Chain A
Amino acid sequence: MANYVMFIDPNKCTGCNACRIACQMQWGLTPSVNYNHLIEQETGKYPKVQRMIIPIQCQHCDDAPCQKVCPTGATYKREDGIVLIDAKKCIGCKYCMVACPYNARVINEEGVPEKCRFCAEYVAQGETPACVSTCMNEVRIFGDLDDPASPLHELINNQDVVQLRPDLNTKPRIYYAKSKRG
């Protein structure tokens, strides 16, 4: 059983939005339904300026608030760490949307609060998530933490990494390189 995690280096992101649209194509989403958000913020004063760009998507938390509040068990966690939603069980109450501290969920065409799926069906076949493979700056690295050959060990263990809102103890599966901007 794999143990999927993602490493994101926001210092490499230049904000092209390819991740967003590659994901939309992969999952046949409508233009306004988007699982990849780039949060941008300008810092500093002219001429000493920086622009922080943080790619945000479902963090696939090991202690997922969205899963806890789901009244029907529609949101579930697989053994490989991926958090998914079973659309057949979803009653559209949107508790998960409110509970998610990362604002990762969006209502899709069928009325289901969907989100990044870590491209579950594709990674099972050895493929790379669409947001990872399309990115020219190689901002994201996805892989199996149980694979000793994975570069993720080096990136997560030996680099200065942070997680989003660690105070909430959600235990996210996405690790971010510490920002060097601003």
Chain B
Amino acid sequence: MQPISRRSFLKLAAAATTAVALPQGLKIDFQAFAEEAKAGEVTKVPSLCNGCSSYCGVWVYVKNGRLWKIEGNKTHMKSRGHICARGHGVAQNVYNPGRVTQPMKRIDDQNNFQPITWEQAFQEVGQKMKALVEEHGGDKFVWLCHGGKESYAQQFMDIIGSDNYITHYATCFSAKTNIWQNMAGGMFNSDFDNAKTMLFVGRNYAGGIIPAAMKRITQAKSKGAKIIVVDPRFCELATIADEWIPIRPGTDLAFFLGIAHTLISEDLYDKKFVAEYVYGFEEFWAHNKEFTADKAAEICGIPAEKIREIARALAKDAPQAFLDPGYHGLAAHYQNSNETMALNVIINALLGNFWKAGGLFPAASTTFGHPEATYYGPVAAKGPRVDGAGVSGEYPLVEPSRGIPQRIPDLIEKGRVKIVFFYSYNPLRSAPEPEYQKKIKNADLVVSINYDWNETSLYTAHYILPENHYLERTEHPKVINGNIYWPAAQVATRFKALESTTSSLALLDIMKGLTKAYGIENLYGYTVEEELEAALGPLGISVEELKEKGCIELMPTVLPKDEGLTFSTFTGKIEFSIGAWRKEGYLGVPTWVPPLVEPKNANEFRLIHGKQPWHSHIMTTNNPYLMAITKEKNGTYMWMNSSRAAELGIKEGDWVTVTSEITSKQVQVHVTEGLHPECVWLPSTYGTFSEKLELGYGQGVNYNDFIPARIDKKTGHVMGQECVVTITKGGK
């Protein structure tokens, strides 16, 4: 059943030719060939899924040198033995026809590339980088990536003097991480197992899936926990909720203010916790005591009595109750996203659930060892951040560790950026306004390190340096923690399961080649295996043990506690009033901020989006298995409430023209009862426009097509749902 490796093919071919004797050419006994293939031994190799930033632990089953299947690792805190559809699909991407098979050099403006050798690629890119850095300075170099667990670029940037490590977070959740850092000293995560009431607002764990979260939420529900989902869309999590409460999109802040007002005005909040661990409570109340549940109801459309009922239910079960801190859902979406995130911290603090069973906990963590440094040469002084993140007079409140990725074309035009490196990152599809993002090609040097022919590579890269598929490499280890509560940190990594079918390399080898050609000898003077050993050493874990178990859990360090809490903030308390905001002349406490734009006319809607459970945003549209599901489920359709659709004469499957201030596109409509009438909803997946990704090409549209590239002044996010579209029937 499994295809056969080249090696066993040759072995059998040799046996067959000996038997029949040459010179009739190569004769193969296909039956013997098939029998041997069937009997092929299956090996199991541990790895970490690359389908999203959960990095679920997987076991990779390999037969005859080919991927057979993956299964979840039962220890791993994100997978707990389970893998979602996209995880299975992304593993199969190792055979995706859209892969870049060797280094490519652009030859014209028509997206034509010429295959070149790795040596030529390293020499040309390395020397061009060197010349540009010498002429313009190292601070004109930017490294753009998804962010997270990759670290090699930093070492090179330290040497040339670039501070411009920029992640995708501003398009995803930078309001959340920024606000939690400021108010609570870091992220806190929900303890599903012990909660009695769970409130999810704009967080759909069954769409943006963490398998272990869903396992634990459904188990908690079986034990009687109450699940309330507030979302403009009847999302996948709503299917298992006790209650789905649709909300006017963009008004979650009002709902939260109404909850907070009820908790305080009805004396339901945890006064002991607030007295001990909160700074700025009075200031918050002074500015918000007029914002009653009734006022909230007028804005968000949820009846005041329902808002009070939810607040009372949370208070009754507190501290075994939480408002989930969320993820992408609201944290890069609206003009009021920052205040919305602030209210999330405040509501949980009013419930006094920090460090309590059934409440919120910080992530457990650990630190790795490092291989000995092998570079002792000169190091340039770092220039300023080109994107203005954390820079006085520009975007002082934006976390420099996250950056502002949607700003790059502007920075190139201003001459602040000369060299752009993309690592496994595709802003032409995942950031707003693709036509604007295409201008990135105007930089002096654009290099894309990516495994497939994504839009960014095709439209902007001067060189494409293909990284191998995650199953084809061993990596330095990762701390597995965060996003959901788990008392202990875990350690896991990817071990090479498959030989590469293409001439692609691991990032470490690409960086070694580039830096050597640049003229830096021995910057990464170790193999990945040596790095792995050095990293694990201080933890007393051997490489062999990690390979055998796939994932190792350390001692639990984050367990419930009742007193002596400290928060990594200036006051050591949870700060309802943000000092950094006051310093910049803003009010320190959050108050009501309206959305930036509002739909008004009969054919106007707010365009919102979300993750489809079987796709990983934009990165899986060329996968035949996942696109087969899309085809069967009409997954590219844009959702519209049935009453609005009826008003416009739109029926299921009808084509409509969707027009925003920057573009006009056609898409088919899914008519549903499960959506707030004021908005239309698009899955965040589709609209692939790289013609080299044939399966995804031209399928559906993407919300990024419709929104201009904007920057929130406080946390730098894109305000991805501040978009009013006009919808007319027909157009295709």
B641 and A134 contacting across the interface, CB-CB below 8 Å: no
Knowing A42-B674, A47-B244, A133-B71, say if A16 contacts B215 (CB, 8 Å).
no
Distance in angstroms between the alpha carbons of A46 and B2 in the assembled complex: 48
Q: How far is the CA of A51 from the CA of B206 in the complex (A)?
A: 14
Of the candidate stretches B120-128, B148-156, B234-242, B592-600, the one touching chain A is: B234-242
Stretch of B28-36, B192-200, B565-573, B620-628 lying at the A interface: B620-628
Enumerate chain A residues within 8 angstroms of B70, measured Cβ to Cβ. Answer: 25
Interface residue ranges of A109-141 to B (CB < 8 Å): 130, 133-138
A14-B206, A17-B629, A28-B2 known; A53-B613 Cβ under 8 A: no
| A residues in contact with B85, CB < 8 Å | 16-18, 20-21
- A-B pairs with lowest CB-CB distance, top 6: A14-B206, A25-B69, A136-B211, A31-B628, A16-B613, A136-B82
Q: Is the CB of A18 within 8 A of B83?
A: yes
Asked if B72 lies at the interface with its beta carbon under 8 angstroms from chain A, I say yes
A31 & B625 in contact (Cβ 8 Å cutoff): yes
Q: Are B625 and A135 in contact (CB under 8 A)?
A: no
Answer whether residue A59 sits at the interface, using C-beta atoms and an 8 A cutoff. no
- Which residue of the partner chain, among A21, A44, A45, contacts B89 with CB atoms under 8 Å? A21
A residues 18-71 touching B (CB-CB < 8 Å): 18, 20-22, 24-28, 31-32, 34, 40, 42, 44-47, 49-51, 53
Cα of A13 to Cα of B238 in the assembled complex, Å: 11
Q: How far is the CB of B367 from chain A (nearest CB, A)?
A: 30
Which residues of B does A touch, CB under 8 Å?
1-2, 68-72, 80-85, 87-89, 91-92, 206, 209, 211-212, 214-215, 218-219, 234, 236-240, 244-246, 613-614, 624-629, 632-633, 641-643, 672-675, 677
Q: A46-B642, A130-B69, A133-B72 are in contact. List 19 more A-B contacts (CB 8 A).
A: A13-B239, A15-B236, A15-B613, A17-B85, A21-B88, A21-B626, A31-B625, A31-B628, A44-B673, A46-B673, A46-B677, A49-B234, A51-B239, A53-B239, A133-B82, A134-B83, A136-B209, A136-B215, A137-B218
CB pair A14–B68 under 8 Å, yes or no, is no
A34 partner, pick from B71, B83, B626, B628, beta carbons under 8 A:
B628
Cβ contacts A to B, 29 pairs, < 8 Å: A12-B218, A12-B240, A13-B239, A14-B613, A16-B209, A16-B236, A16-B613, A17-B85, A17-B614, A17-B629, A18-B82, A18-B83, A21-B85, A22-B69, A24-B88, A24-B625, A25-B70, A31-B627, A46-B642, A46-B673, A46-B677, A49-B673, A49-B674, A133-B71, A134-B82, A136-B212, A136-B218, A137-B215, A137-B218
* B628, A32: Cβ atoms closer than 8 Å: yes
What CA separation (Å) do A137 and B212 show in the bound complex? 9
A163 within 8 A of B: no
**In the bound complex, CA of A27 to CA of B68 (Å):** 9
* Contact A137 B71, beta carbon cutoff 8 Å: no
Question: When the two chains form their complex, are residues B88 and A46 in contact, meaning their CB atoms are under 8 A apart?
Answer: no
| A51 / chain B contacts, CB cutoff of 8 Å | 234, 238-239, 674
B631 shortest CB reach to chain A, Å? 8
Chain B residues in 8 Å Cβ range of A24: 88, 625
Which residue of chain A has the shortest Cβ distance to B631 in the bound complex? A32
B674 CB contacts on chain A under 8 angstroms = 42, 46, 49, 51
